[in-house]
């Protein structure tokens, strides 16, 4: 009997407890998505790897940069034609100065694991390029500056492809899910005791071969990571590259079941609960935009980056 196609997921929630960068809803985000993956999208518990920084918890792996990349690499190594792969990240994001001339915003996008070992857009490009033919990797990043988190992925919904609605609602109080570049640089400098403003030097000194490809490769070699001809990377970002994503607590506004949550993760969850039929990737992002607008998040605009074909493909290929 032929084995059924696998559905594999890596879910990462970083709350950064007991630090100046503490968030509160990120672990709740990925736990809620895990439940959704199992009940609605046919994922098996055994095929979902959870990485959270919950204190006094030994049931999951800590979401360090090395552990996240290892989990993603292992998932891709297991993948075969027809498999559906999913990565959900809820936590801080940041922007680092671009090393490439003429880059939009002159910055590169990155997520911030619990140990500050940045995972950059180039790392996600390399992961997508490793996908076996006939598989897809959907990334949902509920983090600041997450637009464009897969390097060179085509923009389908974003600042250059869609005119935003006029904002008529008052912006509510939020905690942005971002750590400024200067704060990351200061933290890493305290670890290495090296007097330089080059963040790559600090990351290479402290993390060595576990640092991002963005800092380990010579500048000229970065262009080797072009998108493949048949690119199966799909990015649903919580906001545009120059925006922040919100972390919400019940005392800020009515939380999901009284719990803290990430605004984009919660919006996607609401969209999926309110629409029991199949939704395309494009529809999920557009409906999530509408939810956020209705809740008053007028400065956060989710985006979609993928091929034309995948823009209209069914989200997680729901049967």
Provide the annotated active-site residues.
Answer: 92, 144
Hey, how many other C-beta atoms are within 10 angstroms of the C-beta on 2?
4
Q: Which two tokens stand for residue 48?
A: 């979902």
- In the block, which residue shows the tokens 């098996």? 44
CA dihedral in degrees (303, 307, 311, 316; nearest 10)? -100
Sign of the alpha-carbon torsion through 98, 99, 102, 103: negative
Q: Are 95 and 199 in contact (CB under 8 A)?
A: no
DSSP label at residue 18:
T
- In the block, which residue shows the tokens 């979609």? 304
Task: For residues 18 and 194, give the distance between their C-alpha atoms in angstroms, rounded to a whole number.
Answer: 26
Q: Count Cα neighbours of 68 within 13 Å in the Cβ-side half-sphere.
A: 28
| Residue 84 phi, psi (nearest 5) | -115, 125
Helix (H, G, I), strand (E, B) or coil at 95: strand
């Amino acid at each position: 009997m032929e084995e059924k196609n696998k559905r594999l997921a890596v879910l990462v929630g970083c709350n950064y407890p007991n630090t100046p960068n503490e968030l509160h809803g990120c672990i709740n985000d990925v736990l809620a998505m895990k439940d959704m993956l199992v009940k609605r999208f046919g994922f098996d518990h055994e095929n979902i790897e959870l990485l959270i920084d919950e204190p006094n918890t030994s049931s999951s792996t800590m979401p360090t940069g090395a552990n996240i990349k290892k989990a993603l690499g292992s998932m891709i190594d297991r993948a075969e034609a027809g498999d559906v792969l999913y990565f959900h990240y809820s936590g801080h994001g940041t922007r680092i100065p671009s090393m490439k001339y003429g880059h939009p915003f002159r910055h590169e996008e990155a997520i911030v694991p619990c140990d500050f070992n940045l995972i950059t857009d180039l790392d996600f490009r390399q992961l997508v390029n490793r996908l076996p033919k006939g598989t897809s990797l959907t990334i949902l990043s509920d983090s600041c500056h997450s637009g464009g988190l897969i390097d060179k992925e085509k923009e389908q919904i974003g600042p250059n492809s869609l005119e935003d609605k006029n904002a008529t609602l008052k912006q509510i109080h939020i905690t942005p899910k971002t750590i400024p570049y200067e704060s990351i640089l200061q933290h890493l400098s305290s670890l290495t005791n090296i007097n330089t403003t080059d963040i790559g030097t600090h990351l290479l000194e402290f993390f060595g071969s576990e640092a991002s490809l963005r800092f380990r490769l010579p500048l000229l070699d970065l262009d080797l990571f072009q998108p493949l001809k048949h690119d199966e990377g799909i990015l649903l970002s919580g906001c545009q590259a120059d925006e922040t994503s919100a972390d919400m607590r019940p005392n800020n506004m009515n939380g999901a079941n009284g719990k803290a949550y990430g605004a984009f993760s919660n919006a996607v969850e609401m969209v999926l609960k309110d629409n029991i039929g199949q939704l395309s990737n494009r529809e999920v992002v557009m409906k999530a935009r509408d939810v956020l607008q209705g809740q008053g998040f007028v400065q956060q605009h989710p985006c979609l980056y993928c091929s034309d074909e995948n823009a209209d493909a069914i989200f997680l290929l729901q049967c």
